[in-house]
Amino acid sequence: PGLTSSAHKEYQRQIIEKALHAIDHCTPEEKDITSMTMAIDESKLEDARKLITKFRRDLCAFLEDSPQTRVFNLGIQLY
């Protein structure tokens, strides 16, 4: 936490580029691309990170708990 390697930053750039590509090239059934702008209390950011981590892990466990047929990527950005 707090430190990100240049390799990890490049990986995140690639994931975001794939999301941009998906906007125009994936069918609605193959994607869920949404965003939300909100005014927040910055003191809650650490708790928000924990909730995001839990959500990602729970969703991954749910989706991988049956035979896998395709590879998808979940990207979440809070900034």
Segments in the chain below pLDDT 70: 1-2
Nearest to 33 by CA among 68, 73, 60, 70: 73
How far apart CA 79 and CA 26 sit, in angstroms, is 25
Output the pLDDT for position 2.
Answer: 67
Half-sphere exposure of 2 (CA within 13 A, CB side): 1
Output the pLDDT for position 38.
Answer: 97
Output the pLDDT for position 63.
Answer: 97
> What pTM was computed for the model?
0.83
